[in-house]
Structure 1
Amino acid sequence: MSPRRTTAGGQIDRLKTVRFTFDGAPFTGHAGDTLASALLANGVSLMGRSFKYHRPRGVLSAGVDEPNALVTVLRGAAREPNIPATAIEIHDGLRAESQNRFPSLNWDVGALNQLAGKVLGAGFYYKTFMGPVVGPLKGTRFWMFCEHFIRRAAGLGRAGTVADDTRYERMNAFCDVLVVGSGPAGLMAAKAAADRGARVILAELDPRFGGSANWSGETIDGTRAADWANDIVNGLKGRNNVRLLPRTTVWGYYDGNTMAALERVSDHKETAARGEPRHRHWTIRAKSVVLATGALERPLVFPGNDRPGVMLASAAQRYANQFGVLPGEKIALFTNNDTAYAAAAALGKAGANVTAIIDVRSGISDEARGLAASCGAEVLAGHAVVATEGGRALTDIKIQRFDQASGTVTGDARSIHVDGLLMSGGWSPVLHLASQAGAKPEWDDRLQAFLPPKPTQNWAGAGACTGRFATAEAIVEGHLTGLAAAGAAASAIEVPAVEPSSVAPQPAPVFEIKAEGKSFVDFQHDVTADDVRLAHREGFISVEHLKRYTTLGMATDQGKSSNVPGLAIMAETLGKPIPEVGTTRFRPPYTAVSIGSLAAERYGDLRPERLTPMHDWHLAHGATMYSAGLWFRPMIYGLAGETVEQAYVREAKAVRETAGIVDVSTLGKIAVQGPDAAELLDRVYTNIFSTLPVGKARYGLMLRDDGVAFDDGTTWRLGDDNFLMTTTTANAGKVMQHLEYFLDVVWPDLKVTVTSVTDEWAGAAIGGPKARDILAACVKGTAVDNAALPFMGIVHGEIADVPVMICRLSFSGEMAFEVYCGAGHGTHVWEALIEAGKPFGLVSYGLEALGTLRIEKGHVTGAEIDGRTTARDLHLGWMLSKKKPFIGSATMEREGLVAADRLQLVGIVALDNRPLNGGGHIVEALDENNPHGSIGHITACCYAPALGKYIALALVQGGKSRHGMRAFVSDPLRKRFGPVEIVSHHFFDPEGSRMHG
């Protein structure tokens, strides 16, 4: 039996032993344990070192609000730092290590920082290192000397450098009601909404649904609250209108009831199932949202409140009831509210020796005294803890009488021998999402807490996050909220009978116990009460300035435990009430979010799979498909035994020699119609479209309003007031939003409508020396010779009895034509073109060959129009009209956008004839051991069959002035180094004779 494990109770599986290591030492726990609970069960109280003073720290909480016990998890050679031990589910093979210590957690050289005392107070780095250096380094700034050492000491965990090879997913979901939090209020809200037929998503950050019902000890309808919650969850599981998301943190609330959530799918497993991601990121769009996010207990501010063995009372209650772990052998509680008494009773019931309850209030309710008597605890009303003693673990506390009115301690100190001190400074509703939704929190003096603001979006609060801490009230409110969210009247509600073992908080005002020693407000950043007062003396009296000067509430903690105590001390110093001082705005994310999940591809049943009309044909004819933006597109049509490179080289070569056909249905297509359609195009494009004749197309470039290139494409004039705009595949939605914004907000007087018609047209581009012959063999109703269909001309005809529209334009450098027809006829027309092309050697080709053709020709795409380049950077300055203003024209001449050293488009040829990689740097001098001196980077690369070389497009400083120069590619991540030549980006047929012939 582990030293602190109870003999029975908890929700762990005592029959299943789990083996893990912490700092290399082997430990065991049980299935259902967190790393924190398993270490506590093994008698480990020291779990970390603090940021600045390297003070020994133990676990403070039992949830995501943990500021102390941050660890690094090792997965193979990969490292993930700064994860709360309270949020890590142990599994066989788990390896974790402590942080911010050297050489070991027990013996940390950095602890010498504690001797520096006030020298390391708030903002010390702004004030200490600004003077001049004396001695041998005289003449340099002291900061320049110290910066290296300061940066090495900064931070907590050490990030890894090994590539993360785990898989991540992104998902989209839509629902009528999203319920965030699965405590009693959240469960009843979800049930009420589901009963009314609403589509419901219930998200819970813990592995088990039920929230505090899992460990509070309450009874509902005569049943243990945890069992009651489990029954509700089982009833929801069988419904097809309910989706349950455990281990899912809703971390961001955005406009239009769009919520961001992170699901930890396989972090709790030794090995993920085949195809299973590590994390899944959810974007949830909900008609209404129920926030049942609960509340977090606050610490008290007194000297020595950070010593290992000091934790929150609710955390200790949770460790006992959920994990079967006691926080110590002899325990005292220190409180300013009634809820600590329920924790004491629960711990006594679990077998803990509760010796005393120290309460700063002189008046204690009879109910609270009854709870104290049930566990045999002495109640010391009107007293406060003024010190803690011990080294790397708590051994004793000192208490004195406390005058709540003056906030001072009096009389002789009394020592009590304990190895666990549980504190409760009141409760802070978790209102982060409510605040993100668009308004400031509101202070409630009765509860001494900030409450959610009045909704500015379609959300409602339920339970403790609204300040209703009693479970009976929470359940009633959950019922009402769920029915309202489902759009129903709450005429008759059956409310379960609740027998709570907890009591309402009834807190004393938030304050600091003023006594000798360091009293910590923000445990994670070693911010003390003295630091808050120092910030005031130095003029940082705004809460936003206080946060940034002292680092109070920053990093992974985000003020979950420290915000209100810090504001209370600032308010006292200013002589103002807390609501006048205010609070910082909570910003997403609520907890840390893996970058992998944000950047992941979309998978699974909710992935928006966009397929072109010819998708099935591609699969039937050997295409290898991949995701390109929102679409599935052919990569290659590989032959047996071909590599990807061999396939795309064969396809691109065929286009140059005979003809090729590619599916371009994914291009964005926008109908621009109305009397002012031409005027709109003149304003959004850099070149003129009002002079474009009917039946002709023109290449156009758009800028953002800051003068940076935005998108390019062709627009076809189908009538005087009727244009068809095409955009790049990736920017179709962005261009549509761009146009709608300017029409709705900037130019509402223009008489023009824009309509996305991307999905209405199927498109095939056919190009090559034989392209015109193939069209002539199958098109009826129109000629396609040079006179009838000149470059950028448009004709209408039929292919296989289907009406088509044909425009002669080219991105490949060959004579080429785009053939559009109704989406429903796409495959029919495509097959007719394939059949007509057989005598001429027509091949179908995919995106790899398409990219090769465009690189050889020097055409730009999203890789070069990357949000940083200008028209001149891309050698498109000839498209900037001097006869009219356009979006971006007023800002494109800014000094930074016309600087001579800007990155400009060039071509790159590999002189060692080896493959190049996108993202590889271009350098003037090669240093493989210390790569540096980048003058640009590769944006796109390929083997060019037209040249017989490996080539690339790149953005390089000086651009055209470097043509003909030798340089090197430096790509240390992929170990690719070698000589290159910088040339024009027009590798192939720069005169354009082939596409104009």
Structure 2
Amino acid sequence: MADSFRISGAGRFSHAKTARFTFDDKPYSGIEGDTLASALLANGVHLVGRSFKYHRPRGILSAGAEEPNALVGIHRDAARKTPNVRATVQELYDGLTAVSQNRWPSLSFDVGAVNDVASPFFSAGFYYKTFMWPKAAWKSLYEPKIREAAGLGVSPDQPDPDHYSARFAHCEVLVLGGGAAGLAAALAAAESGVRVILVDEQAELGGALRFESAARIEGQDGWTWAQGIAARLKAMPNVRVLTRTTAFGYYAQNFVGLTERVTDHLSSPGMDQPRERLWQVRARRVVLATGAIERHMVFADNDRPGIMLASAARTYLNHYGVAVGRNVGVYTANDSAYAAALDLKKAGVNVAAIVDLRDNPSGDLIDQTRAAGIEIHGGRAVVSVGGKLRISSMTVQPRTGGKNQRTIPVDALLMSAGWTPSVHLFSQSRGKVAFNEQVKRFLPGTYAQDCISIGGCNGTDELSTCMDEAYAAGLKAAKDAGGKTAKAAKPKVEADEVWSRGMLGAAPGAEAGTTVKAFVDFQNDVTAKDIRQAVHEGMRSIEHVKRFTTNGMATDQGKTSNMHGLAIAADELSRAIPEVGLTTFRAPYTPVTFGSIVGHARGSLFDPTRRTAMHDWAERNGAAFEDVGQWKRAWYFPRAGEDMHAAVNRECVTVRKTAGLFDASTLGKIEVVGPDAAAFMELLYTNPWQKLDPGRCRYGLMLREDGFIYDDGVVGRLAADRFHVTTTTGGAARVMNHMEDYLQTEFPHLKVWLTSTSEQWAVIAVQGPKSRDIIAPLVEGIDISDAAMPHMSVREGKICGVPTRLFRMSFSGERGFEVNVPADYGETVWEALWAEGQKHGACAYGTEAMHILRAEKGYIIVGQDTDGTVTVNDAGIDWAIGRKKTDFVGIRGMKRPDLVAPGRKQLVGLKTKDPKVVLEEGAQIVADPNQPVPMTMIGHVTSSYWSENCGRSIALALVAGGRDRMGETLHVPMPDRTIEVEVTGTVFFDEKGEHLNG
């Protein structure tokens, strides 16, 4: 189909190549540089979608990110189907395939439109009242149907074949918005020599200069000036310009999230290019130049296709060379719509009439309009429109009412109720907006971060004032960030457009008492009547009105609807707008794809996989692995014909009888160094450290401030000023953060340095009666006899010729050593130890055997035998608290009355009456199995295993008053039976600890 609405000589892409595309399987053509919206309008297509609730016909409302109606699906191939793409920002490329949404069987004939006829039954909040009875129908009928109807587009059903990337960046000045204000601020800052990043969501910089035809800057029209400044900025080495990039979130400490659309505008994107790029930017100073968003007029049937914002019509004409109609009407309460009428008239488009709510509009633009021969109907309102799938006429009457009506044929209607500053990012920064009663706008008020708002988002309308404000802000931002004084001259504005203030709320004809559908929120079908109903039903806060009506809760986040909704609610409540409140602006500013957030983290890269230095050896020797956090850990080492249980039983018995090798590299390791290292350890751990001799180790227990167990591990003192701290595998990062937090905020006077060394050391645990015989031939410079190196000692020397920190310690209850060597030598040293171990009949054992061996000895695992509510006394390890200590993190918390009260759950052992029955971990425990349901649970099983060494099942459990129940029979109810258990101590094997030196 020919571009019948393309205006010859208009727009900025007249010499561009043709781009062919389809919409609902119908072929069309546009030109490169078009958006899908401008290309459809060029082909005379206004009907592009159906509304969510009523399935009303909807057209293109805007020309930017605020678009609530024109949401389409973009289908590149079977796997690349993207729903809810705004046609106003989707750039056209040759071969683009788009489909409309939320309709069946077709866009022009949609069965769902019956909802519009039944709209009296679907008023605001109807779902809160309708789906309450019968109660049983919720799960069987209502919820499935509601979920089926929810949403507009269809989610893709195949894995996304595209890839995404992420970048981190730092700069002194980050400018968000590439319009006239943003360009001026970026230029001023860049000339000062600081690093500048300029961001804009459009394909080209210029902002509102895309449509403003009267602006002249430095002797050029505004758009030409903008392109010259853009080229100048791109050529500067200290400036990064990011177009097609949206700032979607403003977070703490001037951290801003950006999404860059890299290939969505290309017909054949290269496989080496990401589809989108996530930028995470930290800036010294942020300049917000996000502009303002035009509001629509709230009147009867204002959602008909062909009705759009005046600024959008100007954009399609002046930038894309497309007329939105041949006989256009204008409805306004604001001067800027007159500029749209003049531009259309000059392009040869007939402007049927301008309907202005103001009684006597005046000013230069109005004078020019009259001189151009365009009818102006002042003091009048549009009270209805003709047409269904596209507007065909508008009916006008005096705004004060009466029967003096006139119907004017039109094929498009432009509207403008004024401009709303885009304070979304400012609000996200935790800044507080303030309502300006004079101009009826919320403007930036109290700043919470190091940023400044300029231009339209600051309520500055006039271009000349805007440029002065922007240039000054850019200079100051650069100076505050350490830049020098700029030499460039401030851009001079020679011609400008001046806008008036506009109006808020419903227009005459849609006021209280009327039943017309005057839409406030287009996407969610929220009318002025709905908002009034919310007030009548008791909603007093705008947040409650928002949730009751869903106003502002669609994908456009209420960019065009929020202020109208607020004004209507305030009017109905007879209260000032600030008294009703303001809804919260939350990230993201516009929808962000899962792909850009996830980046490479999917499939095998969904979570980083961490492997120890001995991983390859374990893999070669048939290990079965389990995931422990991000680590791959050897779970057990099956031999031919063995299942998991047989392999684990063999490993446990071998460790007790001879020896076993275990990869313990995943333990967290932190170096605590400095003259105050011991004092720091005293404050962070319950144990005493000042008198611990270098070369000795101690079990270390760490609490939270509330007195509950946080982490544990063995700590070796290497020197007076150096400790080697180990943590649980899962606690490595949090313990490091915990230590750093206290060092920086509570104990900054201490001279201590913390270094995470978890990845630097490979750790090989050699456990069992033959452990010393295995390591002895390989150790150099260390006396490992019992007398010279008793249990809980640490020595430094060499093993296999490489440096080692050798710990005499055990998590199995047997004589044991932990060999720490630099990770690069881990596999080599393991193989040497393995060769020695084979001479003594040793085995390799995995995490499952490790768990059983420690449980046989009653050694706890923090996070398994504790749950965040377990105290030192609950766990039965009061011996880990220094008797003379008066201060450490958690000491006051652990003394709280409820933490020392009788009857708390305590860690005990359990033996099933039938020794062959193994309890399920997490199983609940009761005292009386015959009590009525729901039973009173007195505890739960934390660890449960079959112990080949004990010849029976063993378990640990947290039981109320557990230590007072020794020998008592309790019960574990299961779905098929109730299991009797006897309460015992926590040590099941070698109660006297003789094996540690065996």
TM-score (norm 2): 0.76
Partner of 1:523: 522
Structure 2: how far apart are the matches of 1:869 and 1:341?
71
Tell me the equivalent position of 2:683: 680
Q: Is the 8 A contact 1:525 1:552 kept in 2?
A: yes
Q: 1:275 to 1:122 in 2, by over 3 A?
A: same
Partner of 1:312: 309
Deviations 1:288-344 (A, max 9, x none): 111111111111111111111111011111111222221111111111111111222
| 2-structure distance, mates of 1:786, 1:11 | 87
Q: 1:48 — aligned with what?
A: 49
Deviation at 1:721, TM superposition (A): 8.2
Give, in whole Å, the separation in 2 of the partners of 1:961 and 1:709.
26
User: Does 2:741 align with 1:738?
Assistant: no
Select 2:118's aligned residue among 111, 116, 127.
Answer: 116
- Which residue, out of 444, 448, 451, partners 1:452? 444
State the alpha-carbon separation in 1 of the partners of residues 813 and 260 from structure 2: 47
User: Where does residue 327 of structure 2 map in the other structure?
Assistant: 330
Q: Distance in 2 between matches of 1:538 and 1:161?
A: 41
How far has the Cα of 1:786 moved from its partner?
5.5
State the AA in 2 paired with 1:513: P
* 1:295/1:427 contact within 8 Å kept: yes
Matches within 5 A, 1:182-261: 182-217=178-213, 218-261=215-258
SS in 2 for 1:301: coil
Q: 2:954 corresponds to which residue?
A: none
Matched letter for residue 16 of structure 1: K
The answer to whether the Cα contact below 8 Å between 1:665 and 1:761 also exists between their aligned partners in 2 is no
For residue 736 of structure 2, give the secondary structure of its aligned residue in structure 1.
Answer: helix
CA offsets 1:191-218 (integer angstroms, 9 cap, x no match): 2212212111111111212222233223
Would you say the 8 A contact 2:622–2:638 is kept in 1? no
CA distance in 1, matches of 2:688, 2:232: 64
Shift of 1:230: 1.9
SS at match of 1:452: strand
Larger radius of gyration: 2
Contact 1:253 1:259 (8 Å CA) reproduced: yes
Aligned to 1:762: 760
Worse-matched range after superposition: 229-238 or 477-486: 229-238
* Counterparts in 2 of 1:211 and 1:813: CA distance versus 1, 3 Å: farther
Secondary structure at the aligned position of 1:570 is classed as: helix
| 1:9 equivalent in structure 2 | 10
Match of 2:435 among 439, 443, 461: 443
Question: What residue in structure 2 maps to residue 73 of structure 1?
Answer: 74
Instruction: State the match for 1:387 in structure 2.
Output: 384
1:556 is matched with which residue? Answer: 555
Quick one: structure 1 residues 598 and 509, their matched pair in 2 at CA, closer, same or farther if it must change by over 3 Å?
Answer: closer
Aligned runs of 1:522-921 on 2, under 5 Å?
522-601=521-600, 667=669, 669=671, 673=676, 676-682=679-685, 695-697=695-697, 714-718=714-718, 723-727=723-727, 732-741=732-741, 748=746, 755-758=753-756, 762-767=760-765, 776=776, 780-785=780-785, 788-789=788-789, 792-797=792-797, 805-808=805-808, 817-819=818-820, 853-854=846-847, 857-858=850-851, 871=866, 880-881=875-876, 883=878
1:156 corresponds in structure 2 to 152
Residue of structure 1 equivalent to 2:493: 498
d(CA) in 1 for partners of 2:267, 2:614: 35
> Residues 760 and 340 (structure 1 numbering): CA distance in 2 closer, same or farther, change over 3 Å?
same
Of residues 291-300 and 117-126 in structure 1, the stretch that sits farther from structure 2 once superposed is 117-126
Residues 143-198 of structure 1 show CA distances to partners (whole Å, capped at 9, x for unaligned) of 96533333322322232333323222232211111111111111121122122121
**Superposed displacement of residue 483, structure 1:** 1.1
Find the residue that maps to 2:11 and give its secondary structure: coil
Inter-partner Cα distance in structure 1 for 2:371 and 2:622? 76
Change (3 A) 1:816 1:394: farther
RMSD (Å), alpha carbons: 4.9
Q: How far is 1:126 from its partner?
A: 1.0
1:34 aligns with 2:35: yes
User: Any conservation in 1 of the 2:667–2:729 contact (CA below 8 Å)?
Assistant: no
Q: Pick one of 359, 363, 366 that aligns with 2:363.
A: 366
SS of residue in 1 equivalent to 2:554: coil
Task: Give secondary structure in 2 for the equivalent of 1:343.
Answer: helix
1:579 to 1:307, Cα distance in 2 relative to 1, 3 A: same
Greater displacement, 793-802 / 452-461 = 793-802
Q: Deviations over 1:906-944 (max 9, x none)?
A: xxxxxxxxxxxxxxxxxxxxxxxxxxxxxxxxxxxxxxx
Q: How does 1:468-507 map to 2 (within 5 A)?
A: 468-487=460-479, 494-500=489-495, 502-507=497-502
When residues 253 and 62 of structure 1 are mapped into structure 2, their CA distance, relative to the original with a 3 A threshold, is: same
CA contact (8 A) 2:874 2:905 kept: no
Q: 1:416 — aligned with what?
A: 408
Distance 1:197 1:102, change over 3 A: same
**Structure 1 pair 104–513 and aligned structure 2 pair: CA distance change class (3 A):** same
- The separation in 2 between residues aligned to 1:664 and 1:306, in whole angstroms, is 61
Q: Secondary structure of the equivalent of 1:243?
A: strand
8 Å Cα contact 2:791/2:808 also seen in 1? yes
The superposition leaves residues 354-385 of structure 1 with CA deviations (integer Å, 9 ceiling, x where unpaired) of 22221111232331124424654222221111
Q: Which secondary structure does the structure 2 equivalent of 1:27 belong to?
A: strand
The percentage of counterpart residues that share the same residue type is 40
Contact 1:812–1:853 (CA<8 Å) still a contact in 2? no
* Structure 1 unmatched ranges of 5 or more: 134-138, 403-407, 604-624, 843-848, 901-945, 947-959, 967-988
2:338 aligned with 1:341, yes or no? yes
The CA distance in 2 between the partners of 1:311 and 1:216, in whole Å, is 17
Q: Which residue of 290, 295, 310 corresponds with 1:298?
A: 295
Greater displacement, 428-437 / 708-717:
708-717
CA distance in structure 2 between the partners assigned to 1:634 and 1:781 by the alignment: 24
Task: Tell me how far 1:270 sits from its aligned partner.
Answer: 3.6
Q: Is the 8 A contact 1:357 1:379 kept in 2?
A: yes
**Equivalent in the alignment of 1:88:** 90
* Structure 1: distance between partners of 2:107 and 2:698: 68
How far does residue 263 in structure 1 lie from its aligned partner after superposition?
Answer: 1.6
- Find the aligned partners of 2:525 and 2:463 in 1 and give their Cα distance: 35
Task: Say whether the 8 Å CA contact 1:629–1:729 is kept in structure 2.
Answer: no
- Corresponding pairs, count: 869
**Other-structure match for 1:136:** none
Cα deviation for residue 833 of structure 1 reads: 5.3
Structure 1 residues 791 and 179 mapped into 2: Cα distance closer, same or farther (>3 Å)?
A: farther
Greater Cα offset, 505-514 or 296-305: 505-514
Structure 2 unaligned blocks of 5 or more = 626-631, 640-650, 854-859, 882-889, 908-947, 949-970, 978-988
Q: For residues 280 and 899 of structure 2, what CA distance do their matches in structure 1 show?
A: 35
Any idea what SS the aligned residue of 2:319 has? Answer: helix
| Counterpart-to-counterpart distance in 2, 1:388 and 1:993 | 95
Q: CA–CA distance in 1 between the matches of 2:623 and 2:166? A: 27
SS for the counterpart of 2:556 is coil
For residues 811 and 350 of structure 1, the distance between their equivalents in structure 2, rounded to whole angstroms, comes to 85
SS in 1 for 2:118: helix
1:434 aligns with 2:431: no
Q: Structure 1 counterpart of 2:212, which letter? A: S
